[in-house]
Amino acid sequence: MSPSRRRRLPPRAVGAAGYLQGFVLAGVATVLATRAYLLATGYPQLGGGGLHLAHVLWGGLLMALGLGVALVFLGGTARMTGAIVGGIGFGLFIDEVGKFVTAETDYFYRPAASIIYAVFALLVVITQAVRDRMTLTSGERVANALDTVVGGVGRGLTDRRRVTTLRMVRGAGPEVEYAVSQLLDAVPRREPPPRRFWQPWLAWLRTWAVRVITARWVVALVVIYLVAEPVTNVVSVVVDGVTGRLDEAREWGALLGVSAAALVAAVLGIRAAFLLRPDRAGAFRLFKLALLVNLLFGQVFNFTVNQFGAVATLALDLFLLAVVTGEHRRVRAQTG
């Protein structure tokens, strides 16, 4: 985007990707929790006398509430709160998409699961695009610094937050740096929050997860899986076609989509296997591409075939992607 066009747009928030991520995670968790609750309780109905208070209504109210919080209150905490509340509302809304794409208002419409997945996958792609393009201009950094100052007037700012704010305006000019410094001096100081009991456990879990996804034996098992699994899927589909088992399939279009994604992943996986010795970075780039094909294309159809039972394979694919991405970064860092 040209600098002149950038200046015509409002300044971007430095935490925009984090707010979007909070929205998406809240929405995904809400859909999964709602489906699990309804399944466990036998899909009860709220209301009586011919009335049914669908949870899409509560979703709309929560989205409005989240937007209201972001509009009324200042600061990043209010934005994140609004994003999470709005994400919960969006999850309740999108969970009932089957009712609004069928003439029979069918909540159990089989492609509804794939529609929900596709919507959240698109939101994840948008979030990642925002994160990748989040190089702020000097003016935007100053605007975010001033926003931090304004947000801290009521509750105060910690020393760490003050240092981060001053770092934002570094290079904007001595006058701007001095002005922001003076404004920060006028903001009340706040002590950092006490260490929560769960924070050491979270730090340990994060360290353990990094060790697991970077372990050599885990990487080796992932490579074997990424080569063998899609090939096995393709062979299985061919065998089922020859033996006539595919004649019993209910979702032919979705099954074809899953098979096409598996075929592409198999080709990429085999090619990557041959590149492991001469070009390890290139091999893991292809492994990553194979996983992205499955996540952005194959899983859409997988959710139609297996409904929300596909969540388990989705979780596995995300773990595989974390391992492959970590190894790709490590190899690139070693080779320069």
The neighbouring-strand residues paired with 157 are: 189
Mean of the per-residue pLDDT values of the chain = 86
Render pLDDT for 88-110 as a digit per residue (tens, 0 to 9).
999 999 999 888 888 887 888 88
Residue 5 is predicted with a pLDDT of: 56
- The CA distance from 134 to 176, in Å, is 22
Residue 48 predicted with pLDDT over 60: no
Residue 105 is predicted with a pLDDT of: 79
Residue 80 is predicted with a pLDDT of: 93
- The CA distance from 23 to 86, in Å, is 7
Render pLDDT for 205-258 as a digit per residue (tens, 0 to 9).
989 988 988 889 999 999 999 999 999 988 888 887 777 776 666 777 778 888
Residue 61 is predicted with a pLDDT of: 95
User: Mapped to the 3 state alphabet, what secondary structure does 178-240 carry?
Assistant: HHHHHHHHHCCECCCCCCCCCHHHHHHHHHHHHHHHHCHHHHHHHHHHHHHHHHHHHHHHHHH
Are 108 and 95 in contact by the 8 Å Cβ rule? The answer is no
Of the candidates 165, 123, 138, 145, the one whose C-alpha atom is nearest the C-alpha of residue 6 is 138
Render pLDDT for 144-189 as a digit per residue (tens, 0 to 9).
888 888 888 888 888 898 898 888 888 888 888 889 898 888 888 8
> Which of 300-320 are b and which e, b meaning 16 or more Cβ less than 10 Å from the residue's Cβ?
bbbbbbbbbebbeebeebeeb
Assign 157 to helix, strand or coil: strand
Of the candidates 319, 314, 284, the one whose C-alpha atom is nearest the C-alpha of residue 302 is 314
DSSP helix, strand, coil percent of the chain (3-state; round to 5): 80, 0, 20
Render pLDDT for 273-329 as a digit per residue (tens, 0 to 9).
999 888 888 999 999 999 999 898 888 888 888 888 888 888 999 999 999 998 898
Average pLDDT over residues 70-86: 91
